[in-house]
Amino acid sequence: MTQQSAALPTATIAGYPRIGRDRELKKALEAYWKGASSQEDLIQAGADVRRATRERLSELGLSEANAQPSDFTYYDQVLAVTTTIGALPERFESLRTSTGGVNLDGYFTLARGEGDRAAMEMTKWMDSNYHYLVPELDENTTIDYVDSAIVDQVREAQEAGIAQRPVVVGPVTYLLLAKPSDHAGENFHPLDRLQDTLHAYGHLLMALHEAGVEWVQLDEPALVSDAWDVERQQVLKAVRDAYTWLSAIIERPQLFVNGSYGSLGDALPVLAATDVEAIGLDLVAGPVPANADLSLLEGKTVVAGVVSGRNIWRTNLEAALTTLEQLRDALPASARVTVSTSTSLQHVPHDVERETGIAPEIRSWLAFADQKVGEVLTLARGLHEGRAAIKAELDADAAAHQARAAHPGVNISAVREAVAAVTQDDRTRAPYAERLAAQNERLGLPVLPTTTIGSFPQTREIRAARASWRKGDIDDTAYTQAMKDEIAHVVSLQENIGLDVLVHGEAERNDMVQYFAELLNGFVTTQHGWVQSYGSRCTRPSILWGDVTRTAPMTVEWSSYAQSLTEKPMKGMLTGPVTIMAWSFVRDDVDKAQVADQLALALRDEVSDLEAAGIGVIQVDEPAIRETLPLRVADREAYLEWSVGSFRLATGSAAPQTQIHTHLCYSEFDVVIDAVDHLDADVTSIEASRSRMDILPAVAEHGFERQLGPGVWDIHSPRVPSEEECTTLLRAAVDALGAEKVWVNPDCGLKTRAYEETEASLRNLVAAARTVRAEA
């Protein structure tokens, strides 16, 4: 590294959406996977997305050298490191090319699996709704710099006249996100491979330097969490070792280590003591660090993430500027400040200007990725040239925030009073024993009752009917009839299969959150607001902007129609408050507990209406309660308090004879088992078959008083589980919990499955229940 190295510009962003303004990359990927387009077409589409991003960012004013991130990859940013360093799980060894890496098809095979080679596991990135592919490492995994895609992409930008800054997941985070492979020794931890990983990153840095790259961003979000399976001291040691080693490389770009999704905490002084040139702080998720820590940042650039990369609200420029000034004043005179986003903008859609369906007033409160770029640039000017330089922007922003605060829908006194009046009693049902007796008498179910999680296949016909209805090609009556026909079909199929507690199949729901967002007041939905969830998968979160109210029942018509078709109990289906929040963009002007309770009160009314319509079993899904668990252990108790509290408020008025179910979508049950217990649902269904009932020891050890339905059919693939397989899993559940507590159900909803495997699998599941029932 040369002495007169380029400074980082005064404004930057930590990353940008990769999927394309009109989801061009999604479309290109899916066409290629289907065999409907060539690899050249896909590569061209990738290049087009990168060019569009460069041009757009330049047009927005982010054109200085090193200001733009280079963070493109076809599927996932963690997978991009896996292929860069050639760390293939052993089952994929045959994909390795002569140069030690994988080609593009190999990259997709890692992500999507092939035949009996299971895809790499996918899991949630930090506390977001983005999923990454979990590296699998052991003592013998090859780790070497073998793939130049990261270098090639910056070269492409250079040729177009733009010096971009490559963004790469950092080595410590890469290893903390990894899991030991099936071949790893008992005491192996991925961090054991730090030195080899650093060698590979070292070669990457040298290759980037040779390509003329001046700055590289290494993302180290894992440092903000203390919930890893190693001691914090070991994490800090890895940070010290990694950045001492990497910064000692002579021929390298300058290093910008970015800590996002929370505070770096005690990792900040450790990084400060190394020779990295820049450190990124998330000042949205965490406070300005203590002066004592800031004083250690002599000569460094502090990249201040004051514009949220996680939500879609317009930044409060006044508050952000105050934070920046406070930071600058506390830093040594030799330190510099660059204004940035708190995280990559990959979590937000491209451009709010396109959302012409949202009322202009509400739209003026919002900022998507492109608007956030503008905010960063404005704040950088304000910080470096003084407040007067951005007076017009500050005034306009203050006016927008005032208008937002004064909007009648933002603060509805009846709603606030209802939340304020909630008592502990409202969150408490009758004792379980009393409920159990009442429910047994009312429902008369056999032991090991069978049910499903709610949705049945969302067929092409269902989606086509909904599309025609939205376009106005068919009217409300015709659409309702189409959905009722579907419900009738699903009910008779379940009766034929012999299930005990039936569902209506959720045909009328486009999505389990958006369906409710469209019916409740306080939300708006977007037309183009897609964000990447994983690979080519995108979601379009709704925006929760105001106080929540329910105008009319939302699900009663469908559920009571379904109940009218059968003598068997029909389960009503609702999405819980925490999941509605986790999968929406939630307002930032009131605390989450308030929002959760508002949603809970609306759902509570729905529960009462379902009961009044004669529905005796009601499921409130909370698949997201685990994913929004705070990254810092110390923050978890408060989170669980309000999240569990809101579920209890939603269900607390249910009569003893109404059976309340909940569903959770994951198998790492251990950390939240206490919380799940406190939900106080009568029946909890959870994912368990993929993990072969791994959860049972934890449940048995913890003790679980109420009923549990550990899934016996992994619905994530089209594979039909045999009757024996279901029987084996079920016997294990009965052994651990006792037959009287076990329910028999799949792992999750069936909306992504086809009818063929659904029917075959459910028949096997019912047969297994009968077999084990006879043994009990």
Write the interaction track for ligand GLN spanning residues 497-516; mark x where CB under 6 A is met and - where it is not: ---------x-----x----
Interface with ligand GLN (CB under 6 A), residue from 157, 445, 453, 649: 453
Tokens of 40: 């050249």
Is 264 in contact with 224 (CB distance < 8 Å)?
A: yes
Interface with ligand GLN (CB under 6 A), residue from 71, 749, 761, 764: 749
Pick one of Zn ion, ligand GLN, none as the site partner of residue 83 (Cβ within 5 to 8 A by kind). Answer: none
Residue 514 CB, shortest distance to ligand GLN, in Å, is 13
Is 682 in contact with 704 (CB distance < 8 Å)?
A: no
Q: Which stretch binds Zn ion (CB under 5 A): 241-249, 510-518, 612-620, 747-755?
A: 747-755
CA 699 to chain centre: 26
**Given the complex with ligand GLN, which of 294 and 620 has the nearer CB atom?**
620
Residue 84 corresponds to which amino acid?
Answer: T
Q: Nearest 5°: phi and psi at 341?
A: -90, 155
Residue 752 CB, shortest distance to ligand GLN, in Å, is 9
How many residues touch ligand GLN (CB under 6 A)?
Answer: 13
Q: Report the C-alpha gap between 587 and 546 in whole angstroms.
A: 7
Tokens of 774: 């006879």
**Given the complex with ligand GLN, which of 136 and 747 has the nearer CB atom?**
747
Residues 611-670 contacting ligand GLN, CB under 6 A? 621, 623, 663, 665
In the annotation, is 350 catalytic?
A: no
**Given the complex with ligand GLN, which of 429 and 663 has the nearer CB atom?**
663
Q: Which stretch binds ligand GLN (CB under 6 A): 153-161, 208-216, 450-458, 712-720?
A: 450-458
Q: Report the C-alpha gap between 159 and 216 in whole angstroms.
A: 18
Q: Report the C-alpha gap between 516 and 665 in whole angstroms.
A: 19
Interface with Zn ion (CB under 5 A), residue from 640, 733, 748, 768: 748
Pick one of ligand GLN, Zn ion, none as the site partner of residue 512 (Cβ within 5 to 8 A by kind). Answer: ligand GLN
Asked if residue 624 binds Zn ion (CB under 5 A), the reply is: no
Q: Which stretch binds Zn ion (CB under 5 A): 63-71, 393-401, 548-556, 742-750?
A: 742-750
**Given the complex with ligand GLN, which of 312 and 512 has the nearer CB atom?**
512
Tokens of 26: 């999604």
Pick one of Zn ion, ligand GLN, none as the site partner of residue 751 (Cβ within 5 to 8 A by kind). Answer: ligand GLN
How many residues touch Zn ion (CB under 5 A)?
Answer: 3
Pick one of ligand GLN, Zn ion, none as the site partner of residue 725 (Cβ within 5 to 8 A by kind). Answer: none
- Give me the DSSP letters along 711-773: -SS-TTSSPPPPHHHHHHHHHHHHHHH-GGGB-B--SS--TTS-HHHHHHHHHHHHHHHHHHH
740: exposed, middle or buried (Cβ count in 10 Å: 0-12, 13-18, 19+): exposed
**Given the complex with Zn ion, which of 73 and 628 has the nearer CB atom?**
628
Residue 743 CB, shortest distance to Zn ion, in Å, is 14
**Given the complex with ligand GLN, which of 365 and 666 has the nearer CB atom?**
666
Asked if residue 665 binds Zn ion (CB under 5 A), the reply is: yes
CA 629 to chain centre: 11
Tokens of 669: 């049950």
Residue reference for tokens 């705070």: 630
Tokens of 144: 């070497």
Q: Nearest 5°: phi and psi at 540?
A: -125, 85
Distances (CA, A) of 632 to 171, 191, 691: 21, 20, 26
Q: Which stretch binds Zn ion (CB under 5 A): 1-9, 105-113, 251-259, 620-628?
A: 620-628
Q: Report the C-alpha gap between 67 and 69 in whole angstroms.
A: 7
Q: Report the C-alpha gap between 776 and 773 in whole angstroms.
A: 5
Active site residues: 716
Q: Which residues in this chain contact ligand GLN in the complex, by CB under 6 A? A: 453-455, 506, 512, 573, 621, 623, 663, 665, 748-749, 751
Q: Which residues in this chain contact Zn ion in the complex, by CB under 5 A? A: 623, 665, 748
